[in-house]
């Protein structure tokens, strides 16, 4: 049995878990190829104009898979943490796919909803697994194996390796943090920052300038949660909590030189999160902040120019600013 997993949206967080789960159940997992122009075009053609870029791209991945597999795994992810949501578009994803894409194989659209508690986790897992086997013990075993895989993936990322440096189970690029003198934080949804094509390879671009790139996933979870909790109202989007927590943390860290927020056009969450992050950064820190917005127009020069200008500023600050920071204060006779 062939199960297709589209390489989009939460893929970058959960693919080790999902692939290991299905593979342990002796299904063949087919992941769609990396995002490319054709996949984006498929997606753009088959979604409403108003959908955001990552959702369009996800549609493209589903289309790329649909004739190659027996099932496609498009879970209906409502909530993955207590009292939190992801984004309304995730809640309606299987329905959007089903109405937009014709001649689909059966979709595994199990609802994943831990808004109230994780109590339903075993039930949810059984519901997904029963497509392959009726043996509940086998499913439980497969899930335990999958969790192990997931934990080791998370551990790698804690070690400073980003999802873009991992291919399947292999880490193909070890980053030596000592090589880099300056650090910047790249914020944004995982499906924007870790998709090399969508992000126009921003992580590599920044590394080439000799900067170490941190993301919201590089920080300790407890620190992020504590920082995010300083908002008056609980941030009810899981990504929002991570990104805001990381932004607030980065503002206070002296070894971080700047913050880049990578967003996609029309993202409802980012219109809120990026705005708060930017206002707070400008109000209470000296760190440069830049918001870069992606859409399906793949002109790379515009992004390159802005990254270059941002990096120039950081380098300039590092070299010059410290030396004459008190200049204005003391030379003036007024």
Partner 1 sequence: MKITFPHMGNTYLPVKAMFDDLGVEVVLPPKNSKKTLEIGTKYSPELICLPMKINLGNYIQSIEKGADTILVTGSCGPCRYGYFAEVEKEILKDLGYDVEFVILEAPDGDLKEFYNRVSRVANTKNMIKIGKSLKNGIQVLRKLDKFEASVLKLRPYEKNKGEIDTLYKELIKNLEKSTGSSQMIKYIHQAQEAIKDIDLQKDRDVLKVGIVGEIYTIIEDFANIDIGKKLNELGAEVHKSHTTSGWVLEHLFYNSIGSTREKQVRKAAKPYMKTMVGGHGRETIGNTILYTKEGYDGVIQIMPFTCMPEIVAMSILPKLQQEYGIPILTLIIDEMTGEAGYVTRLEAYIDLLRNRREKYKNEKMLSWR
Cβ nearer to partner 1, comparing 203 with 228: 228
Structural Rg of the chain based on CA atoms = 21
3-state secondary structure the chain: CEEEECCCCCHHHHHHHHHHHHHHCCCEEEECCCCCHHHHHHHHHCCCCCCCHHHHHHHHHHHHHCCCCCEEECCEEEECCCCCECCHHHHCHHHHHHHHCCCCCCEECCEEECCCCHHHHHHHHHHHHCCCCCCHHHHHHHHHHHHHHHHHHHHHHHCCCCHHHEECCEECCCCCHHHCCEEEEEECCHHHHCCCCCCCCHHHHHHHCCEEEEEHHHCCHHHHHHHHCCCCCCCCEHHHHHHHHHHHHHHHCCCEEEEEEEEECCCHHHHHHHHHHHHHHHHHCCCCEEEEEECCCCCHHHHHHHHHHHHHHHHHHHHHHHHHCCHHHHHCCC
User: Do residues 209 and 181 make contact, with C-beta atoms less than 8 angstroms apart?
Assistant: no
Contact status: 50 vs partner 1 (CB under 8 A): yes
Chain residues 68-107 in contact with partner 1, contact rule CB under 8 A: 76, 78, 83-89, 91-92, 95-96, 99-100
Q: Which of residues 174-213 bind partner 1 (CB under 8 A)?
A: none
Smallest gap from residue 232 Cβ to partner 1 (A): 6
Taking the least distance from each CB to partner 1, the nearer of 41 and 295 is 295
Give the residue, chosen from 10, 107, 274, 294, that forms a contact with partner 1 under the rule CB under 8 A: 274
Nearer to partner 1, 93 or 164 (CB): 93
**Binding range to partner 1, per CB under 8 A, among 118-126, 182-190, 220-228, 229-237:** 229-237
Nearer to partner 1 by Cβ, of 175 and 231: the residue is 231
Least distance (Å) from partner 1 to the CB of residue 95?
Answer: 5
Residues in the chain: 334
Q: Is 31 exposed, middle or buried (0-12, 13-18, 19+ CB in 10 A)?
A: middle
- Total binding residues for partner 1 by CB under 8 A? 42
Residue 55 beta carbon to partner 1: minimum distance, rounded to whole angstroms = 8
* Least distance from partner 1 to the Cβ atom of residue 291, Å: 10
Is position 269 an interface residue for partner 1 (rule: CB under 8 A)? Answer: yes
Q: Which is nearer to partner 1, 53 or 166 (CB)?
A: 53
Interaction mask 108-147, partner 1, x per CB under 8 A: ---x-x----------------------------------
Closest distance of CB 290 from partner 1, Å: 15
Q: Does 279 bind partner 1 (CB under 8 A)?
A: yes
- Asked if 271 is part of the footprint of partner 1 (rule: CB under 8 A), the reply reads yes
The strand pairing partners of 237, in sequence order, are: 85
Position 44 contacts partner 1 (CB under 8 A): no
Q: What sign has the CA pseudo-torsion 273, 276, 279, 284? A: negative
Tell me if 247 contacts partner 1 by CB under 8 A.
no
Q: Which is nearer to partner 1, 70 or 113 (CB)?
A: 113
Residue 178 C-beta: closest distance to partner 1, Å? 38
- Binding-site member from 30, 228, 235, 294 for partner 1 (CB under 8 A): 235
Contacts to partner 1 by CB under 8 A: 47-48, 50-51, 76, 78, 83-89, 91-92, 95-96, 99-100, 111, 113, 231-237, 265-272, 274-276, 279-280, 283
């Amino acid at each position: 049995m062939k199960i297709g997993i589209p390489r989009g949206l939460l893929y970058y967080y959960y693919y080790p878990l999902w692939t290991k789960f299905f593979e342990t159940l002796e299904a063949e997992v087919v992941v769609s190829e990396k995002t490319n122009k054709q996949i984006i075009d498929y997606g753009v053609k088959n979604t409403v104009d108003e959908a955001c870029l990552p959702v369009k791209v996800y549609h493209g991945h589903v289309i790329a898979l649909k004739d190659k597999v027996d099932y496609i795994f498009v879970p209906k992810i409502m909530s993955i943490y207590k009292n939190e949501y992801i984004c309304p578009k995730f809640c309606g994803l299987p329905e959007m796919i089903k109405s937009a894409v014709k001649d689909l194989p059966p979709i595994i659209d199990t609802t994943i909803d831990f808004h109230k508690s994780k109590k339903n986790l075993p039930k949810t897992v059984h519901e997904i697994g029963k497509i392959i086997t009726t043996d509940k013990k086998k499913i439980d075993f497969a899930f335990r194996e999958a969790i192990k895989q997931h934990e080791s993936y998370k551990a790698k990322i804690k070690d400073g390796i980003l999802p873009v440096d991992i291919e399947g189970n292999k880490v193909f690029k070890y980053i030596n943090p000592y090589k880099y003198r300056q650090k910047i934080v790249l914020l944004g949804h995982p499906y924007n920052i870790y998709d090399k094509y969508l992000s126009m390879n921003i992580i590599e671009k920044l590394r080439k300038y000799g900067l170490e790139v941190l993301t919201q996933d590089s920080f300790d979870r407890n620190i992020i949660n504590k920082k995010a909790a300083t908002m008056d109202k609980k941030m009810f989007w899981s990504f929002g909590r991570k990104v805001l927590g990381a932004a607030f943390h980065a503002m206070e860290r002296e070894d971080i030189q700047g913050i880049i927020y990578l967003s996609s056009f029309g993202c409802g969450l980012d219109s809120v999160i990026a705005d708060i992050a930017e206002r707070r950064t400008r109000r209470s820190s000296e760190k440069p902040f830049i918001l870069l917005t992606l859409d399906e127009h793949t002109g790379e020069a515009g992004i390159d120019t802005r990254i270059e200008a941002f990096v120039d500023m950081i380098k300039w600050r590092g070299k010059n600013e410290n030396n004459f920071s008190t200049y204005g204060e003391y030379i003036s006779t007024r």
